[in-house]
Amino acid sequence: MDRSAYVPRDYLWMYPAVLLTLLFMVLAACLTQWVPPERKLHAAIAACFTVFAAAVITIDYGVQLTVLQPALLAGQTEGLSALTQYNPHGVFIALENIGYAVLGVAFLFLGAALTGGTSRLERAVRWVFTVGGALILTALVLCATIYRAELDYRFEVVSLSITWLVLIMSASLLTVVFARSRTGFTSHHPAVVADPTHQAIASTTPANPRWGR
């Protein structure tokens, strides 16, 4: 079969996948500064797992886009069978499985980091991360137990679908949460405070009123 006929069609989805993964890494880093102090450790652990997963996934897709894709177009296929995405037992699928499994762990820690949230939106974000992470890890255990050496693309497809769903839902919800938090911050911090006593109180107001009040 001439795989070059599927270039670039079969590789286009990797561009948004890399972008979405890198953006989530930034989001995880931001959440370490946004959660309450007693939850910062959970957020930091989640950020560490996210960085590792993002690195694995970016390298995996980067090799496909910058090595496999041009090699297939040039007809240089010798020695590439272990790297191609069309090999269900190859390096590509293995790295994807590792990357998305680690992202599942990161989701669980982010869910734990957001436990202190009080609004319905914050609780919804927490459950999106928690349920998403639990589903990914459960799928890994079930697929590995049931299919073993015949795992093939099964866990990759399931974990990829869950991850994209979690990232899109959590990002949408957090956008609203951050917007409301910023609005609350502005409304509780007047631009001019004439009374020195009020100035002293304002200077000690927590940076994030969501957790400090």
CA–CA distance, 115 with 82 (Å, rounded to integer): 43
- The yes-or-no verdict on residue 26 having pLDDT over 80 is yes
**pTM of the entire predicted model:** 0.80
Residue-wise pLDDT tens digits, 60-93: 999 999 999 888 888 887 888 889 888 989 999 9
**Mean pLDDT confidence for 190-202:** 46
Higher-confidence residue: 25 or 7?
Answer: 25
Could you tell me if 155 and 139 are in contact, meaning their C-beta atoms sit under 8 angstroms apart? Answer: yes
Q: Mean pLDDT for the chain?
A: 84
Please report the pLDDT score of residue 180 as a whole number: 80
Examine residue 8 and say whether the peptide bond preceding it is cis (omega within 30 degrees of 0). Answer: yes
pLDDT band at 36 (very low <50, low <70, confident <90, very high): confident
Residue 157 above 50 pLDDT? yes
Q: How many angstroms separate the Cα of 105 from the Cα of each of 30, 74, 97, 110?
A: 18, 39, 13, 9
* pLDDT computed for residue 202 by the predictor: 47
The identity of residue 77, as a single letter, is: T
CA angle 35, 163, 87 (to 5 degrees): 145
- 202-210 long-range contacts, Cβ below 8 Å, gap at least 24? 208/34, 208/181, 209/181, 209/184, 209/185, 210/118, 210/181, 210/184
pLDDT at 208: 54
Q: How far is CA 63 from CA 27, 49, 56, 76, 84, in A?
A: 25, 21, 11, 15, 9
| Phi/psi-derived region of residue 204, left when phi > 0, alpha when psi is between -120 and 50, beta in every other case | alpha
- Mean pLDDT (whole number) for 160-175: 92
Q: Kindly give, in sequence order, each residue whose CB lies less than 8 Å from that of residue 145, ignoring residues fewer than 6 positions away.
A: none
What average pLDDT score do residues 101-118 get?
90
Question: Across 40-195, where does the E strand assignment appear?
Answer: none
Residue 203 has pLDDT above 70, yes or no: no
Q: How confident is the model at residue 184 (pLDDT cuts 50, 70, 90)?
A: low
